[in-house]
Structure 1
Amino acid sequence: MIKANVLKIVAHNTSKTFMSTNVENTSLEKKREYYRNLNALDTTDAKPRGWDKAKPFESIPGARCFPVIGNLWRLWMPLFRGKDIVAVHKELCAEYGNILTLKGILGSGFKQLVVLYDPKDFETVVKNEGVWPIRKGQPSLEYYRKLRKDSCPNFGFATLQGEDWFTLRTTANPILLQPKIINEYTEKVDRVTTELVDNMKYLAERDEAIKTSSDFKNEMDKWALESIGVVALDTHLGCLKRNLELESEAQKMINSSKQIFELMYKLDVLPSMWKLMNTPTWNKYVEVIDFLIQTSAKHVNRALDNFDKETDTTKEAGSVLHQIAKKDRNIALSTALDMMLVGVDTTGRILSAGLYFLAKNREQQIRLREEAKRLLKNKNTPVTTKVLAEATYLKAVVKEVTRLAPIGVGNLRTTVKNLTLAGYQVPKGTDIMTANLIPCTTDEYFPRAKEFLPERWLSSHKTANPFAFAPFGLGSRSCLGKRLANLELHIAFLKIIRNFDLSWPHEDMCFTTTIFYGIGKPLQLHIKALNQ
């Protein structure tokens, strides 16, 4: 108790000094000192209110665990029973309630994982995650970083902890999470999306309707990579050129960005011996990441070298890459690499899911098109920040898409202090997953939860608990690229619906989980170009 009180005094005094200065002009070392004190306060062993009345940790219900394979069979279930992990979570929630433990998830890095299903508990976790939240990443990516620590930048925000994470986020946050800066990319992303629309017109004219998804899905990925490239690399990669050669650098980058997570799933979720020996999957994983990092670094360094040669009057002030480089060139490179690693398959998945929902839900598609026609007078009218500011239904559509089809089914944290959750004692150092997709698809929090209803996000509709909806994560470790992702998605949905009529004359799409969540079958959209 004495130690805690002393730390409170130290943190309070440091906080007064820190907050009395201009944060932007405060040195990184002073920021570190301030947060070190707060971190020491956050990581004490004090017992929270209600601890003594809560049930002991050992009495938390535990999902059935088998010898040797533990609870891994639940992760493998989709392979054997055709049931996705989201359906498994719903069954577990129904059987055990709003909290349970999963033991024996070998290879995941978790000896025991506490899973939460109640947004009130999500809120408790987020509000007590500390100033340096701990989020365990993918074991394969962490090992790769150790393997290449002397030859590649300190990339991989998701795998960094403590002061390493803090240094990168403190430098990148004020830029990548600043709406004014991201909005300056509206024109560039609009031009990239125009190329996507042109390619869709070509596919529609060639096939009358896009009935096979290989070409179309590749267009989604090409659009996502090209959009990230203009921001992260300050480079137009040429991904959306028609008939892109398979051996071209751009196509290889597209393939690599998708392969990384397919291989990660095989290494970290499915049975694998990669920790004991260099398996073919591990060797391919290293090869793919090496290529993407080396290629991205080449473009970043070229852009930064050119920037160094420019005069103050010709430099592009709004460039994300250049603004971060002014503070730290290595962090600029690390940030760009992270954006290239996680910004392609993710955004492409959300766009694909959204087009499916709009194709299936005629009324919502028509309403979005009416807004698009009001804001874009003709099919070739560019999207501007003014247009996006007035596109209220568009924003509701994107929110509804990410409610039903977020990239992740939940968020991970390791507790930095003792907590009471769902009436149980949860000690410091416990690995936790907040299964956000479960309340997102539950009528208690979202009436008619299984239906695609963007209207629920308009001003007259409010969600029952804001912590139920977290498509980009929660707290200070939420997705660094969320503003850019939303900009890309807003422009893409608006331009595509302004130019095409979509239909889905098939059975319902199934959604599956690997490393990411998303559509599990080919996106066999039927599209028809609009005349006006």
Structure 2
Amino acid sequence: MLSTKLFRLVSHNGTRISMSTGVRITENPLDEKKFQHYKNLHELEKSDAKPVGWGEAKPFKSIPRPKPVPIFGNIWRFLPKIGNFHGLDFVEIQKLIWDQHGDIAVLEGLNGPPIVMLFNPKYFETLHRNEGVWPIRRGLASLDYFREMRKYTYPRFGMVQHQGEEWFKYRSVVNPILMQPRNNLQYIDKMNLVADELVDNVKFLAEQHNGEMPDNFNNELYKWSLESVGVVTLDKHLGCLKRDLDSHSETQQLIQSVLQVFELTYKLDILPSMYKYVSTSNWRKLVKALDFILKTNVKYINQTLDKLQTKEIDINDETSSVLQKLLKLDRNVAVGMSIDMMLAGIDTTGRVLAAGLYYLSKNPEKQTQLRNEAVALLQDKDTPITKEILAKASYLQGVIKEVTRLAPIAVGNLRTTVKNLIFGGYQVPSGTDVFTCNLALCTSDDYFPRAKEFLPERWLASGPKELSHKNTNPFVFLPFGFGPRSCIGKRLAHVELQTALLKIIRNFELQWPHEDMTFTTTALYGITQPLKLHVKCVNQ
């Protein structure tokens, strides 16, 4: 069935927002038999059956935990002077709980229901092998509140917030577009152009600042990330990397709003907060930031839809944008996923690229090895990167894996159990939130020898056997999650990072003459200080 209307005109607080209506778009072609098959499997999984050994396992209330106090729960632990969590990063809190309570613990008495925290890869595997065909990953409550508040104003964005049938139908449409490697490799030419712009800006900044990147260089990486998302998602150059970009420009405000969303959701949903009961300052800031992000993205999407209507771009082009590809399948998912990618793609890949540049600058011998590979693959500094080149860049692959081992975007994975399970001899009932503390294990010598060191060789088949990642349980290293609810944009992000890193190392020698970088957790994990790299152009 074809439709000529995407979204009706809506109104919010006097501001009218409309979606283009002249494009003919197909409806969701999801196979009904496939849907019913998975729905039946999901219903079978909802059994309250007890696993073998349940009767002998200790009850849930016996799981070790930081003890809450009446009224204040565990919130007091975050208070100055008296709280043992005060001033600690979330990863540091995890390690403290691990040290004090062992491989399984419960954290309760905060913003939401109790969370079981796991520190054993065998428990990770048990959780993921039993997460069901429609895994439940509880989203952020603040985003749920916002989506409900704006449900008649904006498209249904936020796939991470979806559950059950809604999530399955959404993901079934998106998976063939974003999870097929060949689809993501189609965008290498566009990513080359964006990476070249970033390289030019790095060269310019080095000339302007005597070889040292300025305090706001992190923002340059966020601009690269947004520009990359724009060309892939909308087939649109947003102009983020223009040198004369005003600090109050729309694209710069978009970047700042996205960064603010991740910071505020951490304060509202992870740390103790009263926003569910009263309208706090942080809640109002979050609403303002999300309103700006969504309104701006709807405008960008409309521009693409208008080009489709006037046949300025062809919806059947094999190298068309993600939005165009999804429009041929499901109009609502196309718009919602485009917003998701613009929202999630700025801070995530920007953070990983920043961490990668930092670790390479701190480890000159590893940087030299990557540059030798880059020089062998790219004859000239401006040689375009192709899928054939990336297929040969084995050391580059090791670098990216090692960066995401030490500095992943997410420090662990959250699931809600869909059946009764046993971890470490303790009963964990169906419907319990469980968090796997992957980063704590990834930086432990118990799982990775010389865990604090940056050693890309551990991921190479030719690397030292005693360092090989194959010696480690594969459920320890899950930087993009696991199974059906793994990160939908992981393949696209990987190609972006490969292209940018290879281009930068081919063109520049990086140095870090400062104290070690600190990493912290908001809603995401990453560097917290200015990335003031020292940069020299490569003569090769």
Give TM-score, length-normalised by structure 1: 0.91
Once the two structures are TM-superposed, the CA of residue 79 in structure 1 deviates from its matched residue by: 11
Check conservation: 2:73, 2:108, Cα contact below 8 A: yes
**How much does 1:80 deviate?**
7.7
**Aligned counterparts, 1:73-88, within 5 A:** 73=76, 81-88=86-93
Is 1:396 aligned with 2:392? no
After TM superposition, the structure 1 stretch with the greater mean CA deviation from structure 2, 317-326 or 69-78, is: 69-78
Residues 328-367 of structure 1 aligned to structure 2 (within 5 Å): 328-367=330-369
Tell me by how many angstroms 1:444 deviates. Answer: 2.0
Measured after TM superposition, the shift of residue 314 of structure 1 is 7.9
CA distance in 1, matches of 2:239, 2:34: 41
Aligned to 2:109: 104
Q: Distance in 2 between matches of 1:370 and 1:41?
A: 54
The DSSP-based 3-state class of the residue aligned with 2:109 is strand
Do the aligned partners of residues 372 and 73 (structure 1) sit closer, same or farther apart at CA in structure 2, a change above 3 Å counting?
Answer: farther
**C-alpha distance after superposition, 1:64-123 (max 9, x if no partner):** 3234332335567899854322122112112211100111012xxx32110001111111
Query: Which amino acid counterpart does residue 307 of structure 2 have in structure 1?
Result: N
- Where does residue 219 of structure 1 map in the other structure? 220
Deviations 1:205-257 (A, max 9, x none): 1111225321x111101000000111122211000000201222211211111
In structure 2, give the amino acid aligned to 1:201.
K
Q: Secondary structure at the match of 1:114?
A: strand
Question: Cα–Cα, structure 1 residues 257 and 26, in superposed 2: closer, same or farther, change >3 Å?
Answer: closer
The partner residue of 1:29 within 25, 32, 37 is 32
Question: C-alpha distance in 2, partners of 1:453/1:227?
Answer: 28
Secondary structure of 2:138's aligned partner: coil
User: Does residue 529 of structure 1 match 2:537?
Assistant: yes
In the TM superposition, residue 159 of structure 1 has moved relative to its aligned partner by 1.1
Q: What are the residue-to-residue correspondences of 1:312-331 with 2, within 5 Å?
A: 315-319=316-320, 320-331=322-333
Take 1:162 and 1:224, find their aligned partners in 2: how far apart are those partners? 31
- Contact 1:213/1:522 (<8 A) preserved: yes
For residues 241-280 of structure 1, the aligned pairs below 5 Å read: 241-280=242-281
Which SS does the other structure have where 1:310 is aligned?
coil
Q: What aligned pairs does 1:461-476 form with structure 2 within 5 A after superposition?
A: 461-463=468-470, 464-476=472-484
Helix, strand or coil at the partner of 2:469: coil
Q: Alpha carbon RMSD of aligned pairs, Å?
A: 2.0
The CA deviation at 1:311 is 9.0
* Structure 1 unaligned regions, length at least 5: 1-24
- Is 1:408 aligned to residue 410 of structure 2? yes
For 1:466 and 1:168, the matched residues in 2 are separated by: 28
In structure 1, the residue matched to 2:525 is 517
Distance 1:76 1:227 in 2: 41
Q: Residue 47 of structure 1: which of 50, 58, 65 is its match?
A: 50
Counterpart position of 1:287: 288
Q: Is the 8 A contact 2:441 2:447 kept in 1?
A: yes
Q: Is the 8 A contact 1:74 1:85 kept in 2?
A: no
Whether the aligned pair in 2 keeps the contact of 1:220 and 1:348 (CA below 8 Å) is yes
1:195 aligns to what? 197
User: Among residues 414, 417, 420, which one is paired with 2:419 in the alignment?
Assistant: 417
SS in structure 2 of the partner of residue 523 of structure 1: coil
Residues 233, 338 of structure 2: 8 Å contact kept:
yes
**Separation of aligned partners in 1, 2:285 and 2:266:** 13
CA distance in 2, matches of 1:223, 1:73: 41
> What amino acid maps onto 1:504 in structure 2?
W
- Report the AA paired with residue 100 of structure 1: A
Q: Is the 8 A contact 1:233 1:296 kept in 2?
A: no
Flag the structure with higher helix content. Answer: 1
Q: How many residues align?
A: 504
Quick check: 1:307–1:315 contact (8 Å CA) kept in 2?
no
- Alpha-carbon separation, structure 2, partners of 1:484 and 1:472: 12
Aligned to 1:6: none
Q: Structure 2 residue aligned with 1:481, among 475, 489, 493? A: 489
Q: 1:499 aligns with which of 504, 507, 511?
A: 507
Q: Normalising by the residue count of structure 2, what TM-score does the alignment of the two structures yield?
A: 0.90
Structure 1's 102 and 270: CA in aligned 2 closer, same or farther, altered over 3 A?
Answer: closer
Q: Distance in 2 between matches of 1:335 and 1:161?
A: 15
- 1:68 matches 2:75: no
Cα distance between partner residues in 2 of 1:76 and 1:390: 52
Provide Cα deviations, 1:166-186, integer angstroms capped at 9, x if missing partner: 111110011100111100001
After TM superposition, give the deviation of residue 55 of structure 1 in Å: 2.2
Structure 1 residue 342 displacement after superposition: 1.0
- Please list the CA deviations of residues 353-402 of structure 1 after superposition, one character each: whole Å capped at 9, or x if unmatched: 11110000111000000000000111111111111000000010000000
**Alignment-derived partner of residue 21 in structure 1:** none
- Tell me the secondary structure at the aligned position of residue 432 of structure 1: strand
Pick closer, same or farther for the CA change 1:473–1:238 going to 2, 3 Å.
same
CA distance in 2, matches of 1:390, 1:242: 33
The 5-angstrom pairing of residues 174-185 of structure 1 reads 174-185=176-187
